[in-house]
Structure 1
Amino acid sequence: MEKVTGIILAGGKSSRMGRDKALLSVGNATNIERIKKELESFSSEIVIAANDQQPYAFLNVKIIGDVYEEKGPLAGLHACLEQSKTEWNFFAACDLPFFSQKIADYMVSKTKHEGIEGVVPSVNGRVHPLYALYKTSAAPAFERQLKRNQLKIREALNQILIYYVSKNELIDAGFSNEEIERAFYNMNHPEEFEWVTKQFD
């Protein structure tokens, strides 16, 4: 299998949740620990994208801060791609309580497509750019967007060739509808976190 770096995007403002989503306890571990464990199953290295290192120091992994600060998640993608030691990099947002290693493995298998610089899911009409693979060679395109202050990731994706993984493709590959829906569920509000905790009772 292609060697990849597993990168967790942490340290966002979490304004809707009111507290750091990465450090919320889900089951018997914090959300970021759960994602780290899943990424470790197929990654050669785990990295955290965050400007404040202290909250995540307990994970004992490399933490990379933004080169372009206050520019949102696109800056996190760019900074980690710039420092990556592997051709491909799997990025996961820190608010994915049901992150699926099996779906991630399937996505990694799609990096073989010639010429692409990203593998991004598109499920139920929604693109998931923070549950995706990017090639290190995409860094310059992302940097150009940052320099222009064009910070929407959807716009940045238009600058590189992306292989989009559809829900139908995942179903054809043997994943159930429920498995897909849960994998891409992200928690932004307190009531969503409460629902997630009940799933682990």
Structure 2
Amino acid sequence: MNPAYTESLNKLIAELGRLPGIGPKTAERLAFHVLKTGAAEAFALAKAIADVKKNIRQCRICFNLSESEVCSICSDTRRNHSIICVVEQSRDVISLEKTGLCKWVYHVLNGHIAPLEGIEPGDLMIEDLVNRVRAGGVEEIVMATNPNLEGDGTALYINSLLRPLNVKLTRLARGLPTGSTIEYASGSILADAISGRAPMD
């Protein structure tokens, strides 16, 4: 806490500094930007943050972010609901959708299996995925977990659960560099990975 700043300014700097990727200097710069900006713009920012926390929930079907009980993708009748793309996070849905190639629906796991971090299969939305397949109407599961140790392990675990249910299981093509994440892959790499997806062994 800087004694040269007021209590309110110190508090704002401290809160901004808690955001990922924001160091003390950046937090200070952002705080002074808020201080200099007009009241309407500052209050609009505060309202947007409050609205996100108040309005956004998980879709009851796919667990993607939504402002209603069922998200816009799950409620879209133009989508191919017989193909479910499985991703780790909602951010991955956004990245895949930007390619313009995805006409399927999604299932968000909300993480990956990582026993050393205390994340077990029961902590994820895996059972819900199995139940969606068991309910019928699903022809293909596209595994789009990240191409790293945790993502591959999660995909293999889900594969072992779904294989007895006679559903086609595919994985995004390995155009994605090993150890990378879906979120930060370029659109062209994701497009190649989507079009070149292959059956899981």
> Smaller-chain TM-score range?
under 0.3
Greater share of residues in helix: 2
Q: TM-score, normalised by structure 1?
A: 0.28
Q: TM-score, normalised by structure 2?
A: 0.28
Q: Which has the larger radius of gyration?
A: 2
- The structure showing larger relative contact order (alpha-carbon pairs under 8 Å, at least 6 residues apart) is 1
